[in-house]
Structure formats: structure tokens, C-alpha cells
């Protein structure tokens, strides 16, 4: 889980405890209803409920709609503004009443901070639910395209680049960094490669009917974990997608532990066994043991 959703949930839980203490205080001594009622309500609803919901939604919704937040840094700003707004509002109320005079001016200031945090939440969570605009894949690779995105989209292009003198691209870090910025034309110019010939070779490889068998598939940038081949056993950093493709019977182990819904999650393909185990609070060694038993059975029966 990312850091900010985790912070939202932790803060929400802290506000839940404070809200309960305030509620109990009012229950014991109803004369404290003023000023505590307002504080109790907002610590519970703006603190506990809203922050819990935001934290969970920020963790879950991008995964379920398989797209990134429209403004990821906004999460952090929402967190800061919502906490500052809430703490400021309840502090003003705690010092008397939020109504009237200077108090009200300060209260309005903190209300606006909290209000802005809601706009950020709306923007991020509303639009993460909109389907990503469909981009039709290019039918031809041209010199003005950037090297990194071309390799991300057409993994089989990597071998052509490396064969043609761009050996640095064999390094995944290079693909994720400078290759994202450099166009194919620029790269050819730097390496003294003829762009026309190279693009011909590239387009032949990428758009020929017969996919090249020699090139292993490259996972999207940022992917962790490793592929598994038939005959090998499963390890903590094996990717779930690759495991299930190689040993179909291991799917039952995941279903037993995580429920069937797990396979509707687009993230599972690129997550490692260890990541999914920690996300579902399942002991890693236990699930690895069960997976490897399944693998043995599957290998023996084939």
C-alpha cells in the first residue's frame, strides 16, 4: 500500500478513538454538549469516516479501474488540508464558539482548507472512475516516436534495438529513464545508424505476421518479480500471472485463500506471490508450500 492511503487510514483510526472519548464524555456529562457536540461530530465524520473512506478508496479504486489517479500528488495535499482544516475548526470551537467576531473569521479560514480538501478528493476519485481514453495503437513506428514508449508497447522491438547497436537499452533502468525522452531519430543520429534502414527493420519485426519466437516478453516498466518456467518451483518473487499461465492448477490455491474476486483484479498479473500474500494477510510460507505441492502434482500427472 502507498504511504498516503496508509496515513489516511491511520489518521482516521486515531480520530475514531478521539471521537469515542468525546462521545463518552458527553454521555457522562451532558452539560459539555456545548462545545463538545460539534467537535465530536466533525472528528467522527470529517476525521474518522472521511479519512477511512479516502484511504481505502485511494488504495482500491485505481486498481479496480486499472488507471492512475488524475493527480496523485493531490492525495498528499488533501491529507494535509483536511487535517489542518479539521484541527483548526475544532480548536476554534474548543476555545468557545465558532460563531461571531474574530473566531468566525478564523473558523472560515479553516473551513475553506477542509473544503478545498474535499474538492481534491472529488477530482481524484471521480475521474479515476472514468474509463481511460482508448488510444488506437499505432500501425507504424516512425522516427519521431520516443524509444522507451515504443519498447513498452512493442516488447519485440527491444531485440532489434539491441542488435542494431543500442546495447544500453538491455538495461531496464536505461529504458525507464533516458529512453523515455529520446526519439528514435535522435538515437540513430547519436549512434550513427541510418534511421530509414533501422525503422524498416523495426517495422518488419513488429508488424510482421509471424511473431519472433526468440524474444522473451518484457513486462511493463516498473514491474517487479520474475517469470516462472515449467519445471521450476515457485518462489516469493514469482509473478502471479506467470505462475498461473505456467501451472494452471495453482489458481485454486489463490482462490482458496483470497476468494474468487482476486482474478478480476487487473493488478494480480504483475504482482508477486509475496506482494499478494502480504496484501491478503496470508502467511507467505504457507501459500508457497501449497503452490509448490500443486506444481509437483501437476508435473507428476503430465
Q: Interface with ligand HEM by CB under 6 A: which residues?
A: 19-20, 23-24, 26-27, 33, 37-38, 40-42, 44-46, 48-50, 111, 114-115, 118
Least Cβ distance, residue 133 to ligand HEM (angstroms): 32
Least Cβ distance, residue 100 to ligand HEM (angstroms): 11
Region label for 188, one of left (φ > 0), alpha (ψ between -120 and 50) or beta (otherwise): alpha
Least Cβ distance, residue 75 to ligand HEM (angstroms): 17
Q: Which is nearer to ligand HEM, 20 or 57 (CB)?
A: 20
Q: Which is nearer to ligand HEM, 27 or 256 (CB)?
A: 27
Q: Which is nearer to ligand HEM, 103 or 186 (CB)?
A: 103
Distance CA 59, CA 70 (A): 14
Distance CA 219, CA 226 (A): 9
Q: Which is nearer to ligand HEM, 41 or 221 (CB)?
A: 41
Distance CA 1, CA 12 (A): 16
Q: Which is nearer to ligand HEM, 19 or 62 (CB)?
A: 19
Least Cβ distance, residue 37 to ligand HEM (angstroms): 4
CA-nearest of 107, 125, 183 to 150 is 183
Distance CA 204, CA 141 (A): 10
Least Cβ distance, residue 5 to ligand HEM (angstroms): 19
Residue nearest to ligand HEM (CB): 23
Q: Are 262 and 268 in contact (CB under 8 A)?
A: yes
Distance CA 157, CA 120 (A): 40
Q: Which is nearer to ligand HEM, 16 or 265 (CB)?
A: 16
Least Cβ distance, residue 193 to ligand HEM (angstroms): 59
Question: Which distant-in-sequence residues (6+ apart) come within 8 Å of 45 by Cβ?
Answer: none
Question: Which distant-in-sequence residues (6+ apart) come within 8 Å of 297 by Cβ?
Answer: 249
Amino acid at each position: 500500500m502507498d504511504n498516503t492511503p496508509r496515513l489516511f487510514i491511520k489518521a482516521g483510526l486515531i480520530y475514531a478513538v478521539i471521537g469515542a472519548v468525546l462521545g463518552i464524555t458527553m454521555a457522562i456529562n451532558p452539560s459539555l454538549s456545548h462545545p463538545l457536540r460539534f467537535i465530536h461530530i466533525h472528528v467522527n465524520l470529517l476525521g474518522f469516516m472521511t479519512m477511512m473512506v479516502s484511504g481505502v478508496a485511494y488504495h482500491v479504486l485505481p486498481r479496480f479501474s486499472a488507471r492512475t489517479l488524475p493527480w496523485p500528488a493531490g492525495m498528499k495535499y488533501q491529507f494535509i488540508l483536511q487535517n489542518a482544516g479539521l484541527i483548526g475548526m475544532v480548536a476554534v470551537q474548543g476555545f468557545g464558539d465558532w460563531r461571531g467576531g474574530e473566531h468566525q473569521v478564523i473558523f472560515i479560514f479553516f473551513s475553506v482548507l477542509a473544503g478545498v480538501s474535499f474538492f481534491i478528493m472529488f477530482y481524484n476519485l471521480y475521474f479515476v472512475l472514468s474509463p481511460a481514453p482508448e488510444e488506437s495503437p499505432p500501425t507504424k513506428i516512425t522516427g519521431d516516436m520516443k524509444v522507451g514508449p515504443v519498447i513498452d508497447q512493442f516488447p519485440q522491438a527491444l531485440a532489434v534495438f539491441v542488435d542494431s547497436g543500442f546495447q544500453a537499452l538491455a538495461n531496464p533502468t536505461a529504458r525507464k529513464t533516458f529512453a523515455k525522452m529520446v526519439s528514435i531519430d535522435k538515437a540513430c543520429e547519436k549512434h550513427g545508424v541510418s534511421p530509414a534502414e533501422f525503422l524498416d527493420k523495426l517495422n518488419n519485426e513488429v508488424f510482421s505476421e509471424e511473431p519472433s519466437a526468440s524474444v522473451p516478453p518484457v513486462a511493463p516498466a516498473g514491474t517487479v518479480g520474475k517469470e516462472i518456467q515449467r519445471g521450476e518451483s515457485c518462489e516469493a518473487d514469482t509473478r502471479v500471472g506467470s505462475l498461473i499461465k505456467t501451472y494452471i492448477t495453482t489458481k485454486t490455491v489463490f482462490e482458496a485463500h483470497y476468494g474468487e474476486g482476486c482474478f478480476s483484479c487487473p493488478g494480480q498479473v504483475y504482482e508477486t506471490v509475496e506482494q499478494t500474500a502480504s496484501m491478503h494477510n496470508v502467511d507467505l510460507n504457507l501459500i508457497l508450500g501449497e503452490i509448490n505441492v500443486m506444481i509437483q502434482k501437476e508435473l507428476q500427472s503430465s
